[in-house]
A and B are shown apart, each in its own frame.
Chain A
Amino acid sequence: MKLSVLPAILCLFLVPAPLLGQTPSGQEIMEEIEQRHDARSERTRVLMQLYDRRDRVRERELSILLKEGEEGINKAILKFLSPADIRNVGLLTWDRESDGEDDQWLYLPAGESVRRIAGGNKKSQFMGTDLAFEDLRSEDLDSHTYEVVGEEEVDGHPCWMIDALPGTEKEKSETGYGRRRIWVRKDIYFIIQVEFYNHSDKLIKTAAFDDLEQVRDQLWRASRSTFVRVLAGTRTVMTTQSRELDVDLPDSLFTQQGLRRPPGRE
């Protein structure tokens, strides 16, 4: 074998399958998404608009801090900045990769205490929004199976359609979704649309992610997310007001004491 050909052949083995034009598996696509768009930490300020069935709107401002755990615990803290009656209400989540369990604590300033809350509440709605607690978490690739079921063009962008199903008995019992259909843009490996089905395979919710922004290299973020609860006729629109990635966030922020702190430079 001539030396000049060998490097080219070796490169073929090193390049990921998607770049070769083969259709990757659902699992491969989801892993690629995680690899491209994960950040070590993130600080975001979000405006949340809750529309009822009569299109009346309530606004809430949120601060979200995320940190990828060094000991296999991914941490997130959400704090409400407004309106006044829920200011400083906070939710702390530790997502334990080792055993798939979550720890959650809720801080209600009115009660002046932090309490641990049952983690089996994934299906419950988060603070009256159209998002369930499980919608706020990062995708758990180990607890689901992913299958590419087709391709479709969305807003001029070719997408894979992937069906995500709960892959473990634990996930089946805890999740509110029997199935999710996910649309992933082929060009940037980014989720732009999701349909959520209940355990009777009835469509209960949709989510759309737009106003995409290339933050750096292959890392993208959506500046606007819209969740619609189909039966209730309500929707929640989340618009990012500011975002910083890979910031130094001390572990002390992601604790019960940190939950009690007033919002700072979030």
Chain B
Amino acid sequence: MAPKMRMSLPAAGCVLVILHVLAQAPAVFGQENPSGGGDSLRFDHHLDKPAYELNLRHIGYGRESENEARRYFLDAEILGSLRGRFGDRLHYTLAPQIRFDNADRTEAGFTFSERTSTRPLFTFKEAYAAWYGDVWEVTVGKKIFSWGVGDGFRPADNLNPYDFLDVIEAGKIGIPALSVFRYGEKISTQLVFVPLFIPGRLPATDNRWAFEDAAAEARIHETFGDWYTVADGGRVLPAMSLSEAQYALRLNSSTLLMGWDLSFSYFRGRYAYGVLFLEDVIFPPADPEAGLQPPVLMIEQVYPEYREITAGFSTTAGNWEFHAGAALHRTLDRAMDDSFNEYVAGINHTLYDPGLPLLREVIATLEYAGIGVTRERPADSRYSGAGFGRGLDNALLADLQLTFSDDTHLNLQGAVNLDPGDRYSRIALSHRLWDRITLEVDYQTFAGPPDSFFGGWDENDRFVMWIAGSF
């Protein structure tokens, strides 16, 4: 018997929108192109000059860590940019990415959809085709999106997961997606369909950035005391099917209220960083010599479904920029994870020619980020953890960018969770050595109680030297 194909309502809505756009395609393709070049369909191919980035990073940690004795790391990345178009409207973008390091963060091979827990040696950071009309815009392929307001914290920016194998140098992972954007004079709309769930990449237990979720540990300790071992049951990733697909809708406007950017979004998908599930407890047989063996806790990583509604705004007055956003996160299965609200509010000020010698420009940003749990996971739930994605709670984030010249910049950054006071700071000086080569030196520190978000990494104070070349 052939399997029935189930289609959820949002999926059906997406398919209808796509069919509607495609049905209009002949008429739209036949429209005058933006250059005013007439009605004819133009498919002459043009390839932009390819560009490449080379990033070399040397990292030196001040101390060994419990998880990882290694203190010196080298990593390298080559990122290409190939852009072409057929005529005026049909474009494509390819961003091949090659990464390697001496710390087993990457694995040889090629992966397009990055569902692996290590980085592939070769992938495409982005690879998509795009069709640009006067009003409609459609992209399909692996893409990175950026939604919402905020500098250090963006609650609405949840389409793409992050690669947290190096928490501070975290970058977004591209997702396979179909996006349909419609420009409106007052309100523009974007619908994104993501057929395959891509999880965030978290540090493994032998990585000095491994996050020890204190709440999860406390729960296990409550039940089992100190006498247990943990077995990694792996990740349970959703299959690729319409019922497991993720959807997002965004409405935004810069003209409803002149001088204000307003945005609203809805997301339906899975939490990219997962929670821990106690799948089984195995009691090994007693060892004739060693005696009783501790129970083995088989722990899996699972990805709870949730819905999220967000809203945000940004506006300026004089040299000041103000922004704020909020996200209402509702976990569908309350046993799996909390439901919570996230919010950010920030200001940004630019000072030009501040009157200090050598200093040309100063940009200062200050943000407050918070989380409020609206529905807690039950205390007896077999699920635990999820603290990784919620590290900033009642937190202040600050960023100061000082420009001395076109070539020389100093950046001071910091974040502090006001309670319990764990914090992170960074000072980075960059200088352009030659036309295409920039050198940056960074010093980063972490402090706080050992069971706090930043304090758990207090062994990771480090010095980073980064050479970036653009060609």
Contact = CB atoms under 8 A, between A and B. Distances in A.
B320 interface: yes
Given A118-B319, A118-B321, A264-B91, A84 B185 contact: no
Contacts of A81: 48
A85 B46 CA distance: 21
B188 interface: yes
Given A84-B470, A116-B314, A124-B361, A262 B183 contact: no
A255 B183 contact: yes
A118 B350 contact: yes
Contacts of A265: 33-35, 46, 85, 88
Interface in A152-197: none
Contacts of B316: 103, 116-120
Interface string B380-413: 0000000000000000000000000010000000
Interface stretch (A25-33, A212-220, A242-250): A242-250
Interface in A199-216: none
A96 interface: yes
Nearest to A250: B134
A145 to B, nearest CB: 23
Nearest to A99: B258
Contacts of A249: 34
B218 interface: no
B49 A82 contact: yes
B259 interface: yes
A255 B34 contact: no
Contact of A115 (B135, B137, B188, B314): B314
B146 A255 contact: no
Nearest to A252: B183
Contacts, number: 128
Contacts of B52: 84
Interface size class of B (residues with CB under 8 A): 35 or more
B69 interface: no
A93 to B, nearest CB: 12
A84 B350 contact: no
Nearest to A170: B318
Given A116-B315, A252-B183, A123 B436 contact: no
B188 A255 contact: yes
Contact of A264 (B36, B132, B259, B349): B132
Given A85-B436, A247-B35, A248-B36, A116 B91 contact: no
Interface in B106-145: 130, 132-135, 137, 144
A257 B34 contact: no
A121 B435 contact: no
Nearest to A248: B36
A247 B36 contact: yes
Interface in A64-113: 81-85, 87, 94, 96, 99, 101, 103, 111-113
Q: Could you tell me the dominant secondary structure of chain B's interface residues?
A: strand
Give the interface residue-count category, chain A.
35 or more
A115 B367 CA distance: 15
Contacts of B91: 261-262, 264
A246 B350 CA distance: 36
A257 B36 contact: no
Nearest to B435: A58
A128 interface: yes
Given A84-B53, A128-B406, A251 B183 contact: yes
B83 A85 contact: no
A83 B88 contact: no
Contacts of B144: 112
Contacts of A257: 137, 181, 183, 188, 190
A43 interface: yes
B353 interface: yes
Interface in B160-180: 172
A251 B133 CA distance: 11
B319 A121 contact: yes
B191 to A, nearest CB: 13
Given A244-B35, A248-B32, A257-B188, A264 B85 contact: yes
A20 to B, nearest CB: 38
Nearest to A244: B35
Contact of A124 (B46, B348, B350): B350
Contacts of B85: 264-265
B188 A112 contact: no
Nearest to A258: B183
B93 interface: yes
Contacts of B183: 250-252, 255, 257
B352 A121 contact: yes
Given A118-B316, A124-B350, A83 B435 contact: yes
Given A87-B81, A112-B172, A120-B318, A251 B185 contact: yes
Contacts of B227: none
B93 A262 contact: yes
Given A116-B323, A248-B36, A264-B132, 4 more contacts: A85-B468, A119-B316, A250-B135, A251-B185
Rank and list the top 6 A-B pairs by shortest CB-CB distance, nearest first.
A85-B470, A252-B183, A128-B406, A84-B51, A250-B134, A84-B470
19 contacts: A84-B52, A84-B471, A85-B436, A87-B81, A101-B258, A103-B259, A103-B316, A114-B146, A115-B314, A115-B321, A120-B320, A124-B350, A247-B35, A248-B32, A248-B34, A250-B134, A253-B34, A264-B34, A264-B88
Interface of B: 32-36, 46, 48-49, 51-53, 81, 83, 85, 88, 91, 93, 130, 132-135, 137, 144, 146, 151, 172, 181, 183, 185, 188, 190, 252, 254, 258-259, 261, 314-321, 323, 348-350, 352-353, 360-361, 406, 435-436, 438, 468, 470-471
Interface of A: 43, 58, 81-85, 87, 94, 96, 99, 101, 103, 111-121, 123-125, 128, 244, 246-253, 255-257, 261-265
